[in-house]
Structure 1
């Protein structure tokens, strides 16, 4: 059994790697590059150089990103003094995979190439087997129970939205149970903010569809800081009133800017970008705690964010989008 790494060791390793994160200036140069090839050239001046060298064409950029994320995943596993907490930040990949596999099982039937992530806490093959046979007993109970529940419900009626909601709730129930058991106030706060922002996004989606509270209630995830009565009022209110209502909460600015953009464009792209930036900024503000998991989680989230930025830029370049269009989609950077 390997000795458990200490917080000081993990934080020291992370501080070194933080210096290799892409700066805003580097991201801007990639956005301004003439072509996908040129954007990759900018990337080859960074710690991504060995990975860029392996590509035979810019169209294979996704391979590079997968390899880098795999490296980050292994690194976090190696240095985390508290895997029970760091694993919570990888659960979204398991639950993404469950959503894809369950919808494929009940809705598709074709054996297509499925968009599965290799970053979760459970190997994809194990998830695949568990979805084929919900009684296999190979998943941890918090996953196995919801897979069984979905299996029972889908016998009667397959509702993709319901599959998503049930999985989201099961995931967050587990996350909050672990945060409380471990008494980790940083992770608890982070996930509570994440739930609030996801619920606010559901509120905007429901309003856009002209739906009432009964529809919204099905989509809300428990454990947030905003009450159910807040949502029951907000769904009926005009957007101006909603912005006023949220002003006094920590999410005032995100909602004000996100709603204004939403009314102008009809999409939630800006709101989603503001959500990501809000969570990243929270982690940035606490990452200097030398005796906690904050810096380690911060590095993980910074890398996920960086990879998202590179993907947005490469997709934009390959599709000949103008630089301004690509810029609109970009998130903040961590360094």
Structure 2
């Protein structure tokens, strides 16, 4: 048992120490209730984050990205299973490829690239132009599939659909060793498919193209809901773990025409599931839980600070933290 656990011991210890520095619900509540961005920043400076007093939006974004870069540096140096932790970071590479491919089709400069992926952005650009084999295999395969679909349809939106589908397939394929993570990804896929189905119905988009493989609800079931009221979807998931999310979230959508509540409830449900990772001592789960928790924390800080700077009410979009 000692030999099996030793490869996780350092990672587990580091994660437990870092979890103590995560922002808790009380601190987030104080920030959300602050009357100005400056006041919210002052409260944030009481935590482990750098003092952002007087900072503009680009500076705030740079500081938040630096926080995430530290998390991924930690993962790269302490993860006992890089092939699993790299999956989480790989989503930034998939995002960057989507941006670059769509810019390529429109013959324009890419709009927003995130410097948090496994592949350096300049190397990524070069690989797309010269040699796809220089990219991680799942990413290279996704690029080929997305380009082929675009050539067949001429629709740049298919690039998003293909890249998203390929990423979820990669997540499931490489998380087989952890039933905890595999279930997490399946739950996430189901909830994203339900959200996407409702959006496609609203905007008259072909859901079959947006459907993400790997969940527990097949595409035929979703297509059978087309033209039906949202109660049909609610009734179909009554036995699922996330049934309350779907019921409350979609009823909120019926009343407001917005999926904001659904998305908030989805995030709360998934973070609650991730909290189970804290109980695992001999596995990769605590590190994965911490990475995703830190991403959620950064997202919440961004939401609060940018909301305050732009004068947008964000309280209804606030979700529960990991601690």
TM-score, length-scaled by structure 2: 0.92
Match in the other structure for 2:185: 191
Aligned length: 318
1:4-39 deviations in whole A, cap 9, x for unaligned?
972122111111111111111111111122211111
1:57 is matched with which residue: 52, 55, 58? 55
Q: How far off its partner does 1:157 sit?
A: 4.5
Report the equivalent of 1:209: 203
The answer to whether the 8 A contact 1:106-1:158 is kept is: no
> What displacement does 1:148 show?
2.6
Mapped pair 1:122 → 2:109:
no
Asked whether 1:132 is paired with 2:129, we answer yes
| C-alpha contact 1:85 1:187 (8 A) present in aligned 2 | no
User: Residue in 2 aligned with 1:74?
Assistant: 73
Question: 3-state DSSP class of the match of 1:311?
Answer: helix
Q: Does 1:144 align with 2:140?
A: yes
The counterpart of 1:235, out of the listed 221, 226, 241, is 226
User: Distance between the aligned counterparts of 1:141 and 1:299, measured in 2?
Assistant: 26
Mapped contact 2:149–2:158 kept (Cα < 8 A): no
Corresponding residue for residue 328 of structure 1: 316
2-side partners of 1:136 and 1:178: how far apart? 21
| SS in structure 2 at match of 1:45 | coil
Match of 1:263 in 2: 254
2:275 aligns with 284
Kept after mapping to 2: 8 A contact 1:277/1:331: yes
- Return closer, same or farther for 1:239/1:77 CA change in 2, 3 Å cut-off: same
Superimposed CA distance per residue, residues 310-330 of structure 1 (whole angstroms, 9 cap, x where no aligned partner) = 101111110123xxx211111
1:299 aligned to 2:293?
no
The alignment's C-alpha RMSD in Å is: 2.0
In the alignment, which residue of structure 2 is the partner of 1:161?
A: 157
Are 2:236 and 1:245 equivalent residues in the alignment? yes
TM-score (ref. length: structure 1): 0.89
Indicate conservation of the 8 Å contact 2:11/2:80, yes or no: yes
Say whether 1:308 aligns with 2:309. no
**Displacement of 1:110:** 3.0
Moved over 4 A (4+): none
Summarize deviations over 1:71-110 as a string: whole Å, max 9, x none.
Answer: 1111122221111111111121111111111111112x23
**Unaligned residue ranges in structure 1 (runs of 5+):** none
For residue 48 of structure 2, what is the aligned residue in structure 1? 47
